């Protein structure tokens, strides 16, 4: 592990703490490492930020979409599949072991943004915001999930397009609510 941010350090510390509780106290700890996921309610995620901004632009609440590094590569999973994967880990994975969990769709952040923009009829101006660039960025996040798949037989239930539609539909509803509150 080579964490590149304070957030990543907290995840590495949790992983090591889980290992320590397993070894020292024989607690049934299964360590999982979840990779990028699509979750409408996690506003700190790039995908959610993009969907929120597109929805706000569609209804006139925002003029342009701000983004950071579009070149990073991510493997994406639907949050609903991710939560089911955690459940499967509890049922089938070996205590003390570590399992990577991730989706089956890999693309750059920029490709993700283009897929999202293809879902709107509105012309969306985009702009790099230097404040959204990280001091250090892990630019390639593709998990090896074979160990997890072998242990659980897990497969995603949602296609990438279904996940994208779910994400944008959520933020379109939120933008509509925001407009109603302004009236």
Which pLDDT score is estimated for 16? 96
**Residue 130 C-beta-side C-alpha neighbours within 13 Å:** 0
| Whole-structure pTM value | 0.92
Question: CA 148: distance to chain centroid?
Answer: 18
Which pLDDT score is estimated for 113? 98
Distance separating alpha carbons of residues 182 and 41, to the nearest angstrom: 22
Torsion over CA: 164, 106, 148, 101 (sign): negative
Residue labelled with tokens 């889980």: 18
Which pLDDT score is estimated for 137? 83
- Domains detected in the chain: 6-182 (3.40.50.720)
Give CA angle at 78 (134, 163), nearest 5°. Answer: 105
Phi (first) and psi of residue 136, to 5 degrees: -130, 140
Which pLDDT score is estimated for 183? 77
**Residue 76 pairs with which residues in a beta bridge?**
105
């Amino acid at each position: 592990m080579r964490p590149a941010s304070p957030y990543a350090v907290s995840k590495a510390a949790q992983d090591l703490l889980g290992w320590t509780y397993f070894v020292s106290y024989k607690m049934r700890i299964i360590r999982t490492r979840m990779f990028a996921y699509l979750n409408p309610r996690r506003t700190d995620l790039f995908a959610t930020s993009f969907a929120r901004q597109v929805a706000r632009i569609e209804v006139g609440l925002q003029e342009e979409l701000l983004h950071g590094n579009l070149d990073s590569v991510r493997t994406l999973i639907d949050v609903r599949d991710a939560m089911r994967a955690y459940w499967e880990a509890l049922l089938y994975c070996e205590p003390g072991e570590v399992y990577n969990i991730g989706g089956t769709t890999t693309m750059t952040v920029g490709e993700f943004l283009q897929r999202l923009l293809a879902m709107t009829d509105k012309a969306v101006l985009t702009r790099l915001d230097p404040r959204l660039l990280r001091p250090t960025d892990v630019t390639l996040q593709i998990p090896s999930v074979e160990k997890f798949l072998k242990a659980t037989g897990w497969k995603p239930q949602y296609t990438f397009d279904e996940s994208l539609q779910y994400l944008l539909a959520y933020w379109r509803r939120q933008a509509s609510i925001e407009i109603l509150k302004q009236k």
